[in-house]
Amino acid sequence: MSALFSPITLRGASLSNRIIVSPMCQYSAEDGLANKWHEVHLATLAVSGAAMLCIESTAVEPEGRITPGDLGLWNDATEAALKMVLDTIRAHSNIFVTLQLAHAGRKASSHKPWHNGHLIPPSEGGWQTFAPSALPQKEGEAPPIELDRTGLTRIREAFVAATERAARLGVDGIELHGGHGYLLHQFMSPVSNQRTDEYGGSLQNRLRYLLEIFDAVRAAFPADKPLGIKVSASDWVEGGWDIEQTIALARELRKQDVDWIVASSGGISPLQKISPAPGYQVPFAEAIREATGVNTTAVGLITEARLAEDIIANGQADFVAIARAMLYDPRWGWHAAAELGGTVDAPPQYWRAPPREHADIFGKTVQGAR
């Protein structure tokens, strides 16, 4: 039996395999509103054969968007727009749908990646950014405003309000974005956090804000639905956040009943030194899992079914999240099942699609057309 296609339980839910469609920013919203692009994009990935689909990074307030094209969930209009997308997914797929909630902090107000990704000043349609300390992401950029108590409270309440909206929408789970150099990561990393109050300095202090938000979101979300988090396990910068600190965070999150940790890396500084290769971040997921027993998700240039199978079979992680490979091949899960001898769910309209030698990947025999 394929390890990748073995079932797993998250709180009250049973997932049929270990494949997750990773949250991938599309930068295609207007004023935070999901639209037809998101509907087509996510509905396509919902029939990929993965057991879980995570909706892209969704800002909890307008100032928390990475770009003007980011999804949002901060008012009735953004909630209604996302409901349209979820309704389409639910009509054609029973995939487990999670939503990633985020705040970009000092990396907000940026151009889309295909328009250079640089900071947009307020004079050119951008907005003022906020962060733990008044340190810009890149040299030469305008510094963010250091968050005071009022700002910390505002953002924490925005996470709670977005969680309540997500619960009304009926999403199956939530993932907090605590990595890639965004706000929660900025509080944890000494590269970006130079505060001298109880939210800066020691590791315990640098973890405090993320743990407060995690606790508040957990309290606002139904107890039978899971809550996970994405982290950067290393800044890849000397003197920055590293795997040892990540494991300390994971131990604290386990006390707060975290359901999974996605072990990504980087994003806090342009000075990072990374040498990407297939599976290069898998050791982070393995280290966290071994040290804490928390479910982990491996990410990062996992494109081949055999690599994904080995990660699960060798106990290096509990899930694999597929990103760019899923965009390149929206039936990645089908093809992995065919290679590894697994089965996947698919709409009946597609049951006759596989070639004869893989006709059993949907777990049923389908007769030809009359």
Residues with catalytic function? 182
Q: How far is CA 356 from CA 123, 167, 170, 344, 365, in A?
A: 60, 42, 38, 16, 10
Angle at which helix 36-45 crosses helix 76-92, to 10 degrees, equals 40
What are the tokens at 269? 């500084």
For residue 253, give the nearest of 208, 319, 220 by alpha carbon. Answer: 208
CA distances 352 to 293, 309, 361, Å, are 41, 26, 11
Q: Which of 241, 242, 261, 264 is nearest to 250 (CA)?
A: 261
Among 17, 49, 97, smallest CA distance to 309 is for: 17
Instruction: State the burial class of residue 198 (Cβ atoms within 10 Å of its Cβ: 0-12, 13-18, 19+).
Output: exposed
Radius of gyration of the chain (CA): 20
- Backbone φ and ψ for 355, nearest 5 degrees, come out as -65, 160
Structure tokens at 347: 């709409």
Other C-beta atoms closer than 10 Å to the C-beta of 196 total 9
Q: Which residues contact 86 (CB under 8 A, 6 or more apart)?
A: 97, 169, 170, 171
Which H, E and C letters describe 324-335, residue by residue? HHHHHCCCHHHH
Q: What's 172's DSSP letter?
A: S
Question: Is 71:59 a contact under the CB 8 Å cutoff?
Answer: yes
C-alpha span between 66 and 146 (Å, rounded): 18
